[in-house]
Amino acid sequence: MHHLLRRYGCGAALALALFGGPGVAQDAALRPTPDYFAAAIFDMSMAQALARSCAAISVDPVRSGQRAEALLEDLSEDGFDTSAPQEQMDNPEGAIEVLQLEFVARYDLDTPGEEQVCEVARAEMSEASGIGQLLVEVPG
């Protein structure tokens, strides 16, 4: 699974892509990264990684868009400027890495083949996890 994470770059890279690039805030009073932010970024990036590695699975663009909108609403309610929240919070990379390591440990996979990735994706879908809710089986 580490191979999967490295191959498709989860976490902070997606966070930065979603919110407009790296922040250059030098303010010592940055707010802690909200847990829901790290979880949403991890879920969205892992769903994409699973879908890219399993031809039978795809990311549901409607649900993914809804999750991104909900994330922006949560950030706004917590007082973050949603045009550049990364400039107002600590780097989320550490929090996302913890979620990645937990995911890898949960499935005990190091370098999975496509069928193993598909099994993981289907397990997440059947559990209706944050990742699984973003995935859909591709008819084929």
pLDDT digits (tens, 9 = 90+) for 65-80: 999 999 999 999 999 9
Q: Would you say residue 25 lies in a domain? A: no
Q: Would you say residue 23 lies in a domain? A: no
Residue 10 above 90 pLDDT? no
- Predicted TM-score (pTM) of the model is 0.79
- Residue 64: partners with Cβ closer than 8 Å, 6 or more residues away: 44, 47, 134
Percent of the chain's residues with pLDDT above 90: 65
Q: Would you say residue 38 lies in a domain? A: yes
Q: Would you say residue 87 lies in a domain? A: yes
Tokens representing 121? Answer: 């994706």
Domain count, the chain: 1
Q: Which of 18-32, 51-65, 118-132 has the lowest mean pLDDT?
A: 18-32
Q: Would you say residue 24 lies in a domain? A: no
Dist. CA 124–CA 133, nearest whole Å: 8
Q: Would you say residue 72 lies in a domain? A: yes
Domain that holds residue 68: 2-18+31-137
Q: Would you say residue 62 lies in a domain? A: yes
Q: Would you say residue 125 lies in a domain? A: yes
